[in-house]
Amino acid sequence: MKKTWQIAVIAGDGIGPEVLREGIKVLDTAARLDGSFELQFHDFPWGCEYYAKHGKMMDEDGMEQLRKFDAIYLGAVGYPGVPDHISLWDLLLRIRKGFEQYVNIRPIKLLRGAPCPLAGVPREAVDMLFIRENSEGEYAGAGEWLFRGKPEEVVLQTGVFSRKGTERIIRYAFATARELGKSLTSISKGNALNYSMVFWDEVFAEVAKEYPDVPTHSYLVDAASMFMIKEPQRFEVVVTSNLFGDILTDLGAAIAGGLGLAAGANINPERTYPSMFEPIHGSAPDIAGKGIANPLAAIWSASQMLEFFGYKHLAELVLQGIEETLVEHEVLTPDMGGTSATAELGDEVAGKIIRLFQQSGHIV
């Protein structure tokens, strides 16, 4: 009997529906090839267009509706006319926090054929796995706006670093590094943030004692930014706070081929709630509807979903399919120097996956 996975699809805004369509195409291809499972997709019309009509980013009981699913596949959030803090806090962050998706995983890996702006850097040097705290820290939403509009106006933005939140993300990162046989680097700013980041560094040192087999490094965020450019090979598995992880993974995306290849997973490790998978490039309203958006990040995040469900062999096939498409450089969207449409690139990757599956000894 086939296993059935229920997927909530929030295509969202801008190019979100266009790129997710290709990710779903690849997921369906992988499921058909494997034959042991199927994926059922359920669409939710939430996002900025929904906000413009209803004054809210999602249904009042949206979280309850999503809770029954095995995973959430998100396209993009944000569009002109809707303030960014509303689109972010009322949908994306609401889901991340409400479903305890406290682990954000972003691979920074330079695939064969992907462009890299760093001169003289071998492909193997750019292979990082960022594990970002995803539920509190600088994005906890705590603070106050005092005396608004007056000369003595004061704004307080408070970072929240709990023992529970800090320790669980660091321990998750250590466990991942041990499983992969790689080093773990902590990135903080303990010299200037004398409470939150000193606490972070202390917890990292405490948990490190439980993993004596995992080599560790610790960098200040400014130094880490420099080393990511000059010596990216320093970084294997990286753990950092919500804000630093957000910024550094965009830097990493630029190193590893651009935002069109940037995928992210928001994980609830206990699987009490659904996890969420998304390209991180945003809604790109300037090209929405033109059929030229790059779907590779959405397809890479689909690969992350497959791995999360336990189909690591299929996840690797999807990445190989992306990589072969990049190497051939025949079917690519304009942002990568090609002339192909979004759907054509999705078809190309799906075709590559079928061929790779057959070459591995399977019969379709």
* Tens-place pLDDT, residues 70-108: 999 999 999 999 998 899 999 999 999 999 999 999 999
Give the containing element (helix H, strand E) for 143.
strand 137-146
CA dihedral 253, 175, 63, 44 (to 10 degrees): 40
Q: Is the pLDDT of residue 363 over 70?
A: no
Q: How far apart are CA 230 and CA 252, in angstroms?
A: 12
pLDDT band of 364, cuts 50, 70, 90: very low
Q: What is the pLDDT of residues 288-343, one digit of tens each?
A: 999 999 999 999 999 999 999 999 999 999 999 999 999 999 999 999 999 999 99
Long-range contact set of residues 300-303: C-beta below 8 Å, sequence gap at least 24: 300/107, 300/261, 300/262, 300/263, 301/23, 301/73, 301/263, 301/264, 301/265, 301/277, 302/23, 302/24, 302/26, 302/27, 302/73, 302/277, 303/263
User: Strands 263-267, 137-146: parallel, antiparallel or unpaired by DSSP?
Assistant: unpaired
Structure confidence at residue 10 (pLDDT): 98
Structure confidence at residue 1 (pLDDT): 85
What tokens appear for 194 in the block?
A: 């004398």
Q: How far apart are CA 361 and CA 338, in angstroms?
A: 32
pLDDT band of 362, cuts 50, 70, 90: low
User: What mean pLDDT, rounded, does the chain reach?
Assistant: 96
Q: How far apart are CA 53 and CA 66, in angstroms?
A: 21
What tokens appear for 260 in the block?
A: 């069109």
CA of 52: how far to CAs of 15, 38, 118, 362, in Å?
17, 35, 42, 49
Q: Is the pLDDT of residue 361 over 90?
A: no
Given a contact cutoff of 8 angstroms between Cβ atoms, the answer to whether 208 and 95 are in contact is: no
Which positions are annotated as active-site residues? 139, 189, 222, 246, 250
Model's pTM, two decimal places? 0.95
Proportion of the chain above pLDDT 90, given as a percent: 96
Q: Which of 10-24, 39-53, 348-362 has the lowest mean pLDDT?
A: 348-362
Instruction: Tally DSSP H helices, then E strands, for the chain.
Output: 12, 12
Q: What is the pLDDT of residues 148-192, one digit of tens each?
A: 999 999 999 999 999 999 999 999 999 999 999 999 999 999 999
261 vs 361, more confident = 261
Structure confidence at residue 196 (pLDDT): 97
Q: What is the pLDDT of residues 182-194, one digit of tens each?
A: 999 999 999 999 9
Return the amino acid letter for 318. V
